Amino acid sequence: MSSPSVPRSPAGHPSPEPDGTGEPSARRPGRRAFLGGAGLLGAGGVVGGTAGVLVERAAGPSTTQRDRTRALAAVRPGTIHQPGITERSPAHLTFAAYDLVAGTPAATRASLRALLGAWTRAGGDLMAADPPAGAGQTALGLAPSALTVTIGLGASALRRAGLAAAIPAQLAPIPAFAHDQLDPARGDGDLALQICAEDPIVAAAAARYLHTRAAGRATGRWVQHGFRATAAAAADPNATPRNLMGQLDGTDDPTPGTAQFDYAVWAQGTPAWMTGGSYLVARRIQMLLDRWDLITLAGQEKVIGRTKVSGAPLSGGTEHTAPDFSARTADGALAIPANAHIRLTHPRFTDGVRMHRRGYSYDDGLDATGQPDAGLFFLAYQTDPRTAFTAIQTTLDRADALSTFIRHTASALFAVPGAAPRGGYVGQQLLES
C-alpha cells in the first residue's frame, strides 16, 4: 500500500511550554540563525569551503557536495511519518528507553499525554535547529546535522495508562530465542527516543534536553549509543556503510518512496492510531570479534554469502546484483551456502517479507570477560514484527552461520506512531480518541 505524503507543520509549538525548570521561556537565536549568518548552510560556507574541496579531490568523482551539505542541514518534516525512518542515517545515534513514573491509569495517561506533547514540541524545535532557552548551549556553533527525533511507545506504556485494549497485535512480545543472552539491565521500556545526528554533540545535546522534558513523568531505563560512517569521511555519503565485521551492511534494503518500502515498513490497517507509523525492533547484538578475526576471509564471506570488499553475492556480479541461490562452485557446492546469512534472510526464503534495517555500530569497551563489547545495535522498522523480525530471527537463531560469531544481548519493541498532527503531538490519536 502506498502511503500518502501530506505536508505537516514542524510539530506545532506556538509557545514554549512552562517546563518547570525556572528558565526563561524567551528564545535566543538558534543554531540555524547562527549558521545562516555564518554562511555555513549555503555554498561557500564550511561545507563548500576549502576543507570540503580538499576532501572532494581526495575522494574521487563519486563524492557529491550536495550529499555532504545535506548531511549537515536540518531535516524538514513533511510527511505523515515521523522523521528518522526514511532519511539517510546520520553518523551518530543516541537511543534512550524510558519508563513512566508509576501512578493510577488515569494519572499515567495524563502524564503520558504531557510527556508526548513536550517531546514533540522539543523535538520539533531541536530538529529545526531552533532550541528553546532550556536546551542549554551544548550544540551552539554546530550545524543542524540532520538531527532527527523519533518517538516510540512500548506495549507496557499502554498497559500502564489503562489502554491495554488499544495495544496493537503487532506489539506481541518478541519470544525468547535459544541463543539469546539478554541482559536484564537493558531492553524493553515504556517509551523510546531514537535520536540521530551527523554530529555527536548535536545528538547528545538533544538527548539531554529531551531527558529534562521527561522529569517527573518518566525515568531513564537504558541508553545505547551508536555510530556509522560519517558523510565527511565517506567517499560517497550514500554508499552502503560497513559494520564492525567489515561487511557492507544495508545492501539489500527496501528503497524509501517505493511501493515495496511502503508495504514492508508502514503500519497497515488497524489500529487507526498507527496510521503513518511503523514498528521498531531494537536488538543489541554483540559481535564476537576475536573469534571472527580468527577465520579466513573466504570463511567470513561464506558466513554472509557475499564478498567482503565489494559486497557482491558469492554467485557473482557486483554489490547490487541479485543473488543466484542455485549457483554452484566448480566442486559442486552451493556458491551461497545453505546456512549463509543472506540466504536465510532473503525474501525468497522468508515468504517475501522485508524490513527496513537502520542499525548502528556500537563499541562499549570490554565485557565482563574482557572480550570486546562491540557490535551492531540492530534497528529495523517494519509493518508487522510477528511476520518480519520474529519470523526471520526464528530461522536465524536455528540455522544462521553468523550465530557462532554474535550474541543478542538486548531486545525491545516499540510502536512508532505517525507524525504529530498540525499543532498536536505524536500519539495524540491514541490518547484522545
Residues near ligand HEM (CB under 6 A): 243, 245, 247-252, 283, 285, 287, 304, 306, 341-342, 345-347, 355, 375-376, 378, 389, 392-393, 396, 402, 406
Q: How far is the CB of 423 from ligand HEM (least distance, A)?
A: 38
308 vs 338: CA distance, rounded Å: 18
Residue 340, phi then psi, degrees to nearest 5: -70, 145
Q: How far is the CB of 355 from ligand HEM (least distance, A)?
A: 6
Q: How far is the CB of 235 from ligand HEM (least distance, A)?
A: 18
Instruction: Identify which of residues 108 and 247 has a Cβ nearer to ligand HEM in the complex.
Output: 247
CB 283 within 8 A of CB 187: no
Catalytic residue chosen out of the listed positions 249, 252, 373, 400 = 249
Q: How far is the CB of 311 from ligand HEM (least distance, A)?
A: 6
Q: How far is the CB of 168 from ligand HEM (least distance, A)?
A: 20
Q: How far is the CB of 48 from ligand HEM (least distance, A)?
A: 32
426 vs 275: CA distance, rounded Å: 11
Instruction: Identify which of residues 98 and 325 has a Cβ nearer to ligand HEM in the complex.
Output: 325
34 vs 49: CA distance, rounded Å: 17
Instruction: Identify which of residues 76 and 320 has a Cβ nearer to ligand HEM in the complex.
Output: 320
DSSP category for residue 119: H
Instruction: Identify which of residues 119 and 279 has a Cβ nearer to ligand HEM in the complex.
Output: 279
* Neighbour-count burial for 50-71, b at 16+ CB within 10 Å, e otherwise: eebeebeeebeeebeeebbbbb
297 vs 300: CA distance, rounded Å: 5
Dump the DSSP string for 14-79.
Answer: SSPPP-SS----PPPP-HHHHHHHHT-SSTTSTTTSHHHHHHHHHH-TT--HHHHHHHHS-----S
For residue 86, give the C-alpha cell. 526514511
**Nearest Cα to 148, choosing from 69, 111, 202?**
202
CA 401, 356, 286, 297 torsion-angle sign:
positive
Instruction: Identify which of residues 111 and 339 has a Cβ nearer to ligand HEM in the complex.
Output: 339
Q: Report the DSSP pairing between strands 218-227 and 92-100.
A: antiparallel
Instruction: Identify which of residues 133 and 391 has a Cβ nearer to ligand HEM in the complex.
Output: 391
Does 236 participate in catalysis according to the annotation? no
Instruction: Identify which of residues 125 and 301 has a Cβ nearer to ligand HEM in the complex.
Output: 301
Residue 325, phi then psi, degrees to nearest 5: -75, -10
Determine the longest span between alpha carbons in the chain, in angstroms: 74
Q: How far is the CB of 356 from ligand HEM (least distance, A)?
A: 9
For residue 4, say if its preceding peptide bond is cis, omega within 30 degrees of 0.
no
Q: Tell me which residues are annotated as active site.
A: 249
